[in-house]
Amino acid sequence: MSSPFSINGGACVAMRGKNCVAIACDLRLGLQSLTVSNNFPKIFQYSPTAFLGLTGLATDVSTVSELFRYKVNMYRLREERDIAPKTFAQLVSSSLYERRFGPWFVSPVVAGIDGKSGAPFICGFDSIGCIDYAADFIVSGTASDQLFGTCEGLWEPDLEPDDLFETISQALLNAVDRDALSGWGAHVYIIEKDKVTKRLLKGRQD
Amino acid sequence: MADRYSFSLTTFSPSGKLVQIEYALNAVNQGVTSLGIKAANGIVLATEKKSSTPLIDPASSSKISLITPNIGMVYSGMGPDYRVLVDKARKVSHTGYKRIYNEYPPTRILVQDVARVMQEATQSGGVRPYGVSLLIAGYDEGIEPEQQNAKPAGAEETAVDDSAEDRKKTTGKTGGILKGGPSLYQVDPSGSYFPWKATAIGKSATSAKTFLEKRYTEGLELEDAVHIALLTLKETIEGEMNGETVEIGIVGPPANHLLGYEGVEGAQGPRFRKLSPQEIEDYLTNL
Amino acid sequence: MEVLLGITGKDFCIVAASKAAMRGASILKANDDKTRTLNKNTLMAFSGEPGDTVQFAEYIQANIQLYSMRNSSDLSPFEVSSFVRAELAKSLRSRSPYTVNLLLGGYDSIKQKPELYWIDYLASSAPVPYAAHGYAQYYCLSILDKHHHPDISFEQGMKILRMCTDELKRRLPIDFKGVNVKIIDKDGIREEPYSDDKQVYAP
């Protein structure tokens, strides 16, 4: 319980669909069993179609999200283009490994669509930047065990955006209901080639 | 005292000139001519390889260098300064880019990095400016020029057309870096850099550029560009012209035979490669 | 047993901090002020390791004031919270981190909205409608959950604060000597008189 990864709680999941991806997180910020806030989103946008989910120690979620905001803004100014999800994933990896012997206590998830080819892309990382590429889904956070279960049960290949939204929402909601440290509402992003839909799920408030 | 302070040697003259940089340009203008031509599907870099004595093994010295698989460069001016810059360009393309993004820098980014190195030598203490001008040629993935222009003409499905329109708009807004394809840059000792369709540096740069202005046409093919490069070089070259005395580097289609392996899906060979003396001889016989 | 409480309402933010300065089981002072005014519309309340608290708070106070002097304009509460969080996050991974928990109460004069930020010593920061630090969290958050509403008037806010302090008096094993109450609204920061003499008995 005193692992830095499970002090504040939180959950995040990304899924691949047909020409689309989805990423979702819960909104809880806690101190052990005590809930402090139900308005602490863990998904951040870094280009029109590149998103990063961060679970783990809340202070590092904030610090790391701000660090990447800085790095991606500098990239955009220097290169006069938006960062591609695959490139962003490599940036996340190298930035985390830079802290190999004093890591940020976060478990990142990247989801996005390549601006040029339109190919969906998702991947996850450990806290020192090892990339976990996946063709189906990526889970992270204190509800990751539960998310593995719900995702294994609900996900299927080539889901259309609307079906993917239903699948990821049910996977997240039912996983966080089985985790005491996650929940209290959710953000769900459905990312298509030139459209991003963000939905707020109320979820159980108890 | 000497190790505590070091002042820049490059200081303004009362008229507002940095004479050290002008001297560096003089060094460039005494150097052997190099030239570059951008074609629709590639780039050619060419230079004369002069040796003061027939006792030198020509294969051991080389003026065109590979920086990344898709970027190469050539110089006019001081050879030793050039080698330092090649080392720094190769190093920065890894430390400043590949080790961060796991991909090689786009041409313009590398050019800016090299230009920064050269600019810093004009403002730092205890150093002199680099006595070289560079021609840097590279190829970038992205929306290629012909694709970009082809779009408005096509009467495709509406949905597809919309996204193409959107993409075109963002391209315009961002100054067109999404644009892929070949690009050719010149970098000077001051650290300033320019994109060219075709240019020359070194001793006979002025006459070579006049020649190129006459010969260059839009939509040139790479083969024609190599031809023009050799013709231009021929005008200015002092010694004999053969595979041993001319050096050519090209940016062209991926050279998968240079990968050293085959059967890996998606693997792409380097686009920048140097022509062998034999290949150059072949071009010369057809001149 | 330090108490920090924060409540926002329609157009105000209440910050309350216990008046007892303690060392071990002894109370050294009964009128301690655990708040610092950062600028015209932002107030910071702090608890934690004695020594760290005032040192950190006054360091922040000095820097926020310096910003106001240099730029002839105040940082908004959100901007202050970002600065404070960044400083605390820097400290967290230093050789000797500050052990300080904070509540930042403010009034954003552009958005015309009160704001409250909960920040702990790990530099976790969250915008909240109401907040507490220390043991007060366990006693007061449930009361606030039940009675708070974003649109409450100042009077209702004070009424809820009274419910909280009464509960703390009822449940906490050590007398925290009542609370200092500060109000942040469109007119700036002011101290609100708050009587602590009423006896509250455990049930």
pTM score > 0.80 for this model? yes
ipTM: 0.94
The nearest CA of chain C is from the CA of A40 a distance in Å of 7
Residue C101 lies in a domain: yes
* pLDDT attached to residue A106: 98
Across chain A, mean pLDDT equals 97
Residue A29 pLDDT > 50: yes
Q: What is the mean pLDDT of residues A25-36?
A: 97
Could you list the residue range(s) of the whole structural domain that residue C44 is in? 4-192
Confidence of residue A74 (pLDDT cuts 50, 70, 90): very high
For the CA atoms of C93, C94, C96, C101, what is the dihedral angle to 10 degrees? -50
Cα separation, C72 vs C66, whole angstroms = 10
**β-bridge partners, C185:** C12, C188
Length of chain A measured in residues = 206
Terminal-residue alpha carbon distance, chain A: 21
- Whether residue A79 lies within 8 A of chain B, CB to CB, comes out as yes
Length of chain B measured in residues = 287
Q: What is the pLDDT of residues B28-77, one digit of tens each?
A: 999 999 999 999 999 999 999 988 788 888 878 899 999 999 999 999 99
Closest residue in C to A205 (Cα) is: C145
* Residue C92: other Cβ atoms inside 10 A: 18
Stretch (H or E) spanning C103: strand C100-108
Cα separation, B132 vs B121, whole angstroms = 12
* pLDDT attached to residue B6: 78
Residue C203 pLDDT > 90: no
Tokens of B175: 């100054």
Q: What is the pLDDT of residues A38-48, one digit of tens each?
A: 999 999 999 99
Cα separation, C41 vs C25, whole angstroms = 35
Question: Does B177 contact A194 at a Cβ distance shorter than 8 Å?
Answer: no
* pLDDT attached to residue A11: 98
Across chain B, mean pLDDT equals 88
Smallest Cβ distance to A87: which of B103, B166, B174? B103
Q: What is the CATH number of domain B17-142+178-286?
A: 3.60.20.10
Question: Does A79 contact B101 at a Cβ distance shorter than 8 Å?
Answer: no
CA separation, residue B138 to residues B100, B181, B185, B274 (Å): 20, 8, 9, 13
Q: What is the pLDDT of residues B127-145, one digit of tens each?
A: 999 999 999 999 998 765 5
In order of their start, the domains of chain A are: 4-201 (3.60.20.10)
* pLDDT attached to residue B1: 53
Above pLDDT 70, what percent of chain C?
Answer: 100
Confidence of residue B5 (pLDDT cuts 50, 70, 90): confident
Q: What is the pLDDT of residues B164-208, one digit of tens each?
A: 444 444 433 333 456 789 999 999 999 999 999 999 999 999 999
Tokens of A201: 């799920």
Q: What is the pLDDT of residues A84-102, one digit of tens each?
A: 999 999 999 999 999 999 9
Tokens of C20: 């007892």
Residue B153 pLDDT > 50: no
Residue C202 lies in a domain: no
Q: Which residue has the tokens 């790095």?
A: A71
Collapsing DSSP to helix, strand or coil, C202 comes out as coil
Q: What is the mean pLDDT of residues C143-168?
A: 98
* pLDDT attached to residue B252: 97
Smallest Cβ distance to B101: which of A87, A116, A193? A87
* DSSP state for residue A82 in the 8-state scheme: P
Q: How many domains does chain C have?
A: 1
Please, do chains B and C touch (3+ CB pairs < 8 Å)?
no
Question: Does B142 contact A91 at a Cβ distance shorter than 8 Å?
Answer: no
Residues of chain C in contact with residue A38, where contact means CB-CB under 8 angstroms, are none
Question: Which CATH number covers residue C95?
Answer: 3.60.20.10
Terminal-residue alpha carbon distance, chain B: 61
Residue C86 lies in a domain: yes
Looking at chain A from residue 171 to 200, which residues have their Cβ under 8 Å from any Cβ of chain C?
A: none
Looking at chain B from residue 261 to 280, which residues have their Cβ under 8 Å from any Cβ of chain A?
A: none
Locate the domains of chain B by residue range: 17-142+178-286
